[in-house]
Amino acid sequence: MTVLGENGVTEDSRNVLQGGESEVIFMGTGSSTGTPMISCLVGLSKSDTPCVCLSAVQGDPCENKNNRLNPSLLLRFRLNNSDSTRHVLFDCCKTFREAAVRWFSKFSIPYLDAVILSHRHADAILGIDDLRMAYDTKSGPLPVYMSEKTFGTIKNVFPYLVNSQPSLHGSMVSSCKNKHRDQPAEAASAWVAKLDWRLVSRPSLDDPFSPFDVHGIEVIPFPVFHGEPVLSLGFLMGKGEKK
């Protein structure tokens, strides 16, 4: 497996992988605020500790190791005996659009094939609206995998992307209902992502954590404490020693 990503990356990955090969591309490796922080740039920070925010705005952000986006990564893989290279995004953060503009072209990422969400915090889900421009609509709705609690937050934050409950390990495709009387339904629905919501875990410490399949890759969710009272999901992929 090849690991690439934020920041200071100069080596381009291969757009066409061989069967059984994979790459991990870090879309962001910063904090929930990202770097630089607004408070530092405008003088609101009360800390006397020197920070890197001023240097983070210097030069090309793609080459500046102090300029960092919200945590997110992309898995690019090609299964044995397959002609297709898949791109799966882990967490669709607040800075997803900026990350896509920064890295999709550089690493020849044509579109997303699936999204997996780890938890319900803003820095993991608030880029979901921008998925409308990041997947191949001709292939149908984009699969999005998440826990029951994460889906509950998504319903409140993005009600226009969700109009029905998914089932555990199943799928329920959202559709856009026209809420504008003077606008055709086709025109209204053209501006939102069509997402296939899929529950994979609740999560809880006694959850069975059943594996689920993402384009031929087995993914096993497991609990990760992420501050009180949030229980996030980690994900185990691969087989045997390659996990």
Indicate the DSSP class of residue 148.
Answer: H
Which residues make Cβ contacts (< 8 Å) with residue 169, sequence separation at least 6? 198, 199, 200, 210, 212
10 Å Cβ neighbour count for 149? Answer: 18
Task: Determine the pLDDT at residue 184.
Answer: 46
- pLDDT digits over 7-65, tens only? 645 455 555 677 788 899 999 999 888 888 888 888 777 777 667 887 888 888 888 88
> Per residue in 182-218, pLDDT tens?
444 444 445 789 999 998 866 555 565 788 999 999 9
Q: Residue 5 pLDDT > 70, yes or no? A: no
pLDDT for the residue 2: 65
First vs last C-alpha separation in the chain: 11
Burial group, residue 166, by CB count within 10 angstroms (0-12, 13-18, 19+): buried
The whole-number pLDDT of residue 46 equals: 72
DSSP reduced 3-state for 20: coil
Determine contact, residues 104/73, Cβ cutoff 8 Å. Answer: no
pLDDT at res. 174: 46
Integer Cα distance of 89 and 71 in angstroms: 11
